[in-house]
Amino acid sequence: MLLSNNPHFVFDTFVHDALKHMFGHRESMCHYKPGINAFYTDFLLSQRHLADLTEKYQRAYIDRWSVHAQPSGTARRVSLYDDMFETAFEATVCVLFDKHLVTPAFTDAMRRFIAKDYMLMSGIPHYFLSDIIRTREFMVQALCTWRARYGETSAYASDLLEEREKGSRTRWHTDITLTDRDLAVDNFVILYASSVNTFLMMFWTLYHIYTTPHVLATARASVITYLNTHHDSIEEYLGQPVFSLQQLEDQTYLKACIQEALRLHTSGFIFRDVVQDFEYEVKGERYLIKRGERLVSNPAFLHFDPVLYPNPDTFDPDRYSEKKDRHNLSFGGGVHYCPGRKFARNEILTAVIHYLVKYDLEFQDAPIVGFGVGTGTETFADPATLVGVKRAL
């Protein structure tokens, strides 16, 4: 119901509240613009732009990994959560902006922001949220500084932000004078949306693959076989870690692993605000839904339905081998289907392939995992989860 084009409820007001309370946009920048969503959809689903973003991300990921990794052949005990966050977030920064914005302080600020971002939407008076607001403003100011110092000379690493800014100036916000802070907050929103959930899905996909022996064997064999078929040797891949869009699309089993991790660990909700009273019937009972109320749906009710997904608590990528998954709402659906879903999947594939080819992981502490229908918070990765990492090849 929430994903249909229903005249009784809208997504606009939730977007307004998120932009205002969570990201700190001024009121005149918070009004929902349908054209912005259409822009993201057209841009991110375009083969040309998707290919450009994906290639840049793969190169940036390996570059940032080399910064954080130990010397080749060295076994190490690390937090996989931290590894995923640092490498994936900094790679995203490089792709959207450039490496001048990558600093330990900026990375740590995003880590602190995403740990408490939900509080900004909770209704708690901002007087009690001074730490998280200071963190947000530090990042916005860092983006303002980057724009002033490097924005004119180096432009954006990706056309995405350049085209987004051009649209703000010429189409969506022509009724106001845009400030540097307005554009920096826009940049922050895009950076947040491009990174905050991706690294978590990298973590959970790798966790389930490496703790399910038969899945690990199948996943690694599928990648090695593909590399031996499409590259002269695995060593060629190790030296040139870039897959084309089609080569990533060919990773059928790995995509199924990602889909299954998304099913088990999607922690977000779907929100719609009611704009006119209506009645809704559920199992013979009729309910009056009043104007002004906010409807919230948890995808886990579908994702753990044993009718749709037999043995729903089990990580089973093979469940997608014979039929398309039409019930997974990890990326939403309908007119607000996440426009960045294909790029997000390619980001996750980059990390999964990298680890499968190069490293063995041994989980020495189990993360906190609580499958089932709940608030979603039980699906967050525990930063204290440690893994032993050693070279596989």
CB atoms within 10 A of CB 371: 16
* DSSP assignment letter at 306: T
**pLDDT tens string 147-172:** 888 766 555 667 888 888 888 888 88
Q: How far apart are CA 290 and CA 274, in angstroms?
A: 7
Structure tokens at 36: 């912005």
Evaluate if residue 1 carries a pLDDT over 60.
Answer: no
Q: Which residues make Cβ contacts (< 8 Å) with residue 182, sequence separation at least 6?
A: 25, 26, 29, 168, 173
DSSP 155-175: --SSHHHHHHHHHIIIIISTT
- Cα of 391 vs its chain's centroid, Å: 27
CB atoms within 10 A of CB 276: 11
**pLDDT tens string 181-232:** 999 999 999 999 888 888 889 989 998 999 999 999 999 999 988 888 877 6
Q: What is the pLDDT of residue 116?
A: 86
* DSSP assignment letter at 310: S
Q: Where are the alpha helices (DSSP H) in the chain?
A: 12-17, 34-44, 47-68, 80-96, 104-116, 130-146, 152-154, 159-167, 180-195, 198-210, 213-230, 234-239, 245-249, 252-265, 300-303, 341-358
Evaluate if residue 241 carries a pLDDT over 50.
Answer: yes
Are 348 and 92 a contacting pair, CB within 8 Å? no
Percent of the chain with pLDDT over 70: 83
**pLDDT tens string 26-78:** 887 877 677 888 888 888 889 999 999 999 999 999 888 888 765 555 556 67
Dihedral pair phi/psi, residue 251, rounded to 5°: -80, 65
Predicted confidence band at 371 (pLDDT cuts at 50, 70, 90)? very low
Domain residue limits, the chain: 9-391
Q: How far apart are CA 6 and CA 57, in angstroms?
A: 37
CA distances from residue 13 to 230, 274, 280, 332, 334 in whole angstroms, order as listed: 49, 10, 21, 17, 17
- Reported as type and span, the H/E element at residue 295 is strand 294-297
Dihedral pair phi/psi, residue 38, rounded to 5°: -65, -40
Q: How far apart are CA 305 and CA 296, in angstroms?
A: 18
Evaluate if residue 377 carries a pLDDT over 90.
Answer: no
The pLDDT mean for the chain works out to 82
AA identity, residue 361: L
DSSP 193-252: HHHTTHHHHHHHHHHHHHTSHHHHHHHHHHHHHHHHHHSS-HHHHHH-----HHHHHT-H
**pLDDT tens string 76-97:** 667 788 888 899 999 999 999 9
Evaluate if residue 132 carries a pLDDT over 90.
Answer: yes
Q: What is the CATH number of domain 9-391?
A: 1.10.630.10
Predicted confidence band at 379 (pLDDT cuts at 50, 70, 90)? very low
Evaluate if residue 4 carries a pLDDT over 70.
Answer: no
